[in-house]
Amino acid sequence: MSEFKLTTLEEMEAATERLLETGAKVGADSWQMRVKNQTPHCKFGEEGVCCRICTMGPCRITKKAPRGICGCDVHGIVGRNFLRFTAGGSATHSDHGREICHTLHEAAADGNYKVKDEAKLLRLAAEFGVETEGRDIYDVAHEVAEVGLLEYGKPFGTQVFLKRAPQHTQDIWKREEIEPRAIDREVSCSLHMTHMGCSSKPEALIRQSLRSGLSDGWGGSMMGTEFSDVLFGTPHEIETEANLGVMNADNVNIVVHGHDPSLSEMICEYADDPEMIAYAKEMGAKGITVSGVCCTSNEVAMRRGIPMAGNFLQQENVVLTGACEAIVVDVQCIFPALGPLSKCFHTKFVTTSPIAQMPESDFIRFNAHTAGENAKAIVKMAIENFKNRKPELVHIPDMKQKAVVGFSVEEIVHKLDGVTNTQVDKTGTTLPLIECITSGVLRGAVAMVGCNNPKVRSDAAHIGLMKKLIANDIVLVVSGCSAQAAAKAGLMDKRAKDLCGAGLKRVCELADIPPVLHMGSCVDISRMMVLAATLAKDSGLNISQLPLVGCAPEWMSEKAVSIGNYVVATGIDTYLGVEPYVSGSDQIAGLLTEGVRDWVEAAYTVEKDIEKLGDMMIERIEEKRAALGI
């Protein structure tokens, strides 16, 4: 076995520089150039003090003009902007979940999509009150999907999944009137509240921000995750690789990008088809390599071991290799820049969803009925494009790391079963993990999530924080682009245990896991909520008492704010490395960083100095331990 060494940021940056040289040769634009054009950023926007909600303005709050034309003060404007930001993220995640519900509704024994995890479907059916006795599994699947779809618009009641939370958390949600009702209702209500002439009271706006976030995390996202597991299988430990070196110069390279596994699963299926591989060989390639970017990549990495080419800010890099025959996208986090960029190369930029249509792309409309033929057409298109490569432009950085992924809650519980030596049978519970934490072998856990953002040196915060935390015996559960940062650096290689403190290293050895556990995509942060809820129930503690915090050090999207809100509202302190647009109002900023603690027992901390951010998380974990006397 070769010597293990993390890939450094400098090595990754040098690889990017080399790719940008190719880009310069062909006149390609890049996010690095666009950032220069866009900075310094608008101060009004950064502080959240610009209101464009009606056409009397736009109004911008300054010392000289402390109120908008309607009389709204800065706190109302900042709060409304924050709530709209949250609603955007909640709508996006939840609509993804809705698409998956529809896909489940289309599943058939002889169809494009089948039920892969029957046991999980039956568990969900019980939760959703769907009769299973003596019924065909597909009838059950369709009814579960229907009940799921009704969660979006149910006229009465609250989200079914709230019952998964400990009673204490449910009581808080009820007391604070933030229990999410129908998912779409929370989004509509947020837009209604922020319409001209409605809410401008900070407490009301932040309360609804939490509620809208909860409708995502304990509603739409949770369904997205659960139903994806039913359709494509619940993830279990699997080996893969990460970073641009996973692309193969001899093969047809197809890169999947976005979030919805329905498309990427099908692409993987057809790329594996012997008929397609033979066709690729006929066209002069040695085979077909599918790799991924962003959360679509996480989905297929977790279930199929498909390699991860990169995260959010590497999406242009895959095209810049000159070896990408097709970049195939579904929804969310896709740069429109890929259109013009792909035109500088031979790359086909294939859009597939009516929700994410972009200029200068080939649009192949994808849906559950025609998924097989759509995927086949896309794979064929990529193969036929191989001959159009310009060899002089091909450069794939020789850079990749091994990664072990697939840590669903079920897999984490299974892997940790072997950790404690006890007479009592604790298998199938989180008790072994709790024992590791209470004994101090593990000091605690950090759920690290979220994007890249050009405001932060790319991946530096993710990787830097992870290294610091594991050295302090804090285990990481990660998702989204944070997970890919870890994988690219090598932190999901089991040999990364040597970078851990003695306690975490021992746990990694006994459980045979890496110190950074890949739990999936952005919607899969719902897995982390289920894990936290289970740990609380199994330990008899409240979620807010657990030595567990959340962190999004490089976040950028509306979805991330929705996530942050549901993580905080679940009782988990959350640490951000990028400022939300709320600094213009001390009342809104104060509520988010302290005030909400009185409601939900947790709050945000914002700190741009990453070293300090890490210290603060460790300190918080130790405070929680001290409060428990452990």
Q: How many CA atoms lie within 13 A of 81 on its CB side?
A: 25
Assigned token pair, 20: 């940008």
**What is the smallest separation between the CB atom of 312 and ligand MSK, expressed in angstroms?**
4
Cβ atoms of 418 and 510 within 8 Å: the answer is yes
456 binds ligand MSK (CB under 6 A): no
Q: How many CA atoms lie within 13 A of 43 on its CB side?
A: 3
* Total residues in contact with ligand MSK, by rule CB under 6 A: 14
242 binds ligand MSK (CB under 6 A): no
What's the Cα-to-Cα distance from 306 to each of 4, 129, 415, 546, rounded to whole Å?
22, 36, 22, 34
**What is the smallest separation between the CB atom of 453 and ligand MSK, expressed in angstroms?**
9
Cβ atoms of 568 and 576 within 8 Å: the answer is no
Nearest-angstrom CA–CA distance, 110 and 289: 27
**What is the smallest separation between the CB atom of 574 and ligand MSK, expressed in angstroms?**
15
Q: DSSP E strands: which ranges in 461-573?
A: 474-478, 516-518, 548-552
Of the candidate spans 124-132, 236-244, 467-475, 554-562, the one that interacts with ligand MSK by CB under 6 A turns out to be 554-562
**What is the smallest separation between the CB atom of 454 and ligand MSK, expressed in angstroms?**
12
Of the candidate spans 42-50, 51-59, 314-322, 555-563, the one that interacts with ligand MSK by CB under 6 A turns out to be 555-563
**What is the smallest separation between the CB atom of 567 and ligand MSK, expressed in angstroms?**
14
Cβ atoms of 392 and 381 within 8 Å: the answer is no
**What is the smallest separation between the CB atom of 407 and ligand MSK, expressed in angstroms?**
17
Q: Which of 195, 208, 228, 199 shows the shortest CA–CA distance to 93?
A: 228
Q: Which of 234, 242, 266 shows the shortest CA–CA distance to 489?
A: 242
Class of residue 546 by CB neighbours under 10 A (exposed 0-12, middle 13-18, buried 19+): buried
Residues 6+ apart with CB under 8 A from 83: 190, 193, 194, 205, 206, 208, 209, 212
**What is the smallest separation between the CB atom of 481 and ligand MSK, expressed in angstroms?**
3
Of the candidate spans 1-9, 27-35, 224-232, 556-564, the one that interacts with ligand MSK by CB under 6 A turns out to be 556-564
Binding mask 511-540 for ligand MSK (x = CB under 6 A): ----------xx------------------
451 binds ligand MSK (CB under 6 A): yes
Nearer to ligand MSK, 208 or 332 (CB): 332
557 binds ligand MSK (CB under 6 A): yes
559 binds ligand MSK (CB under 6 A): yes
Nearer to ligand MSK, 76 or 97 (CB): 97
Nearer to ligand MSK, 243 or 521 (CB): 521
Nearer to ligand MSK, 383 or 522 (CB): 522
- For residue 424, the one-letter residue type is V
485 binds ligand MSK (CB under 6 A): no
Nearer to ligand MSK, 252 or 556 (CB): 556
Footprint (CB under 6 A) of ligand MSK, residues 318-337:
333
Nearer to ligand MSK, 295 or 396 (CB): 295
Nearest-angstrom CA–CA distance, 269 and 372: 9
295 binds ligand MSK (CB under 6 A): yes
**What is the smallest separation between the CB atom of 178 and ligand MSK, expressed in angstroms?**
23
Q: 76, 180, 406, 480: which one contacts ligand MSK (CB under 6 A)?
A: 480
**What is the smallest separation between the CB atom of 397 and ligand MSK, expressed in angstroms?**
20
Nearest-angstrom CA–CA distance, 292 and 142: 30
Q: What are phi and psi of 574, to 5 degrees?
A: -125, 130
Element (H, E) at 164: none
Taking the alpha carbons at both ends of the chain, their separation in whole angstroms is 39
Q: Which of 77, 181, 83, 203 shows the shortest CA–CA distance to 561?
A: 83
Residue with tokens 């009673």: 167
Q: 48, 450, 547, 584: which one contacts ligand MSK (CB under 6 A)?
A: 450
Nearer to ligand MSK, 518 or 559 (CB): 559
Of the candidate spans 200-208, 552-560, 576-584, 615-623, the one that interacts with ligand MSK by CB under 6 A turns out to be 552-560
Q: What are phi and psi of 507, to 5 degrees?
A: -65, -45
**What is the smallest separation between the CB atom of 485 and ligand MSK, expressed in angstroms?**
10
Cβ atoms of 610 and 553 within 8 Å: the answer is yes
Nearer to ligand MSK, 451 or 588 (CB): 451
166 binds ligand MSK (CB under 6 A): no
Nearest-angstrom CA–CA distance, 551 and 571: 13
- Secondary structure letter of residue 594 according to DSSP: I
Residue with tokens 């900075």: 39
Q: 85, 312, 407, 581: which one contacts ligand MSK (CB under 6 A)?
A: 312
What torsion do the CA atoms of 511, 303, 481, 12 make, to the nearest 10 degrees?
A: 80
**What is the smallest separation between the CB atom of 482 and ligand MSK, expressed in angstroms?**
7
**What is the smallest separation between the CB atom of 486 and ligand MSK, expressed in angstroms?**
12
294 binds ligand MSK (CB under 6 A): yes
481 binds ligand MSK (CB under 6 A): yes
566 binds ligand MSK (CB under 6 A): no
Which chain residues interact with ligand MSK by CB under 6 A?
Answer: 259, 294-295, 312, 333, 450-451, 480-481, 521-522, 557, 559-560
